[in-house]
Structure 1
Amino acid sequence: MAVASEKAKLGQPEIKLGVYPPPASVLFPRILGRQKAFELILSGDSISAKEAERIGLVNKVVPAAEFKQASEEFIKRFTANSGLALTQARRALYRNFDLSFNDALEATGADATMVMAGENSVEGLSAYLEKRKPIWIR
């Protein structure tokens, strides 16, 4: 996930130097799709922050003067949640990306059983029913 300043320019200029960007050649097709990855890597062109947001390279574009505060607020949306659940969800998202649909469903079913048996799921449900913020076990 990424937040960008409205003034940011993003690109992979390596091709213009006679090389190519190995990490981008792996990540961009997964994030952007094949066509846009080819375009950005093979042209070496830069794009605006707004274009990067439109194509999914960044999650949010904010005014430059508010970058630090806006980034912190963006992060708080995630850190307010259970750290254990975040870790498990992140692992599952990465793992499931490379699995077939059926294998991913099977693995996710096993994950759900484990997550639902945890103390944080009890705390989350209790907090919801009691209309209060949960106190997560980190």
Structure 2
Amino acid sequence: MDSFRKIDIDVFDEDVLLETELYDPDPREPSQVLDDAKAKAAAVRSSLSKGDIPGALSAVLDNAPYGPNVDDAKTLTLQTLVTILNSTKSSDVSNIVKSLSQDQQDTLMKYIYKGTAMPGWGDVSGSVLLGWHEKLTEAAGIGCIVRTMTDRRIV
């Protein structure tokens, strides 16, 4: 009697929108994306030991992993970014955020939202994320939030 509920009607619909049609996939192989994320994590640790927070943040935000089959790289990149956010003095956040490009600001906003969606995850501190969100919104404006919410490339 309830077998009709197991039919995927989207298969029969010509107008269905597939995730692969929303954005171009990451051209790199998943293993290459993970290797790049590991290399970035090492570079970030080196930059943090030298006190170069803006350089570390720029490194992790450039060419962020997105798309399917790269969940390990996404998690590693988020962990690396959280390390940077937690090791930054709150008085320095404004200047650091202003030094980022618009694409980097948008990517940072994506990671902030991803971090706030994961309560109790690792070293994520809600007050740190909200502080960065406040300073980022002041510097980049509400357009940054809109671009983040409408972009289909999820980090």
Task: Identify whether the pair has TM-score above 0.5, normalized to the shorter chain.
Answer: no
TM-score (norm 1): 0.23
Q: Which has the larger strand fraction?
A: 1
TM-score (norm 2): 0.21
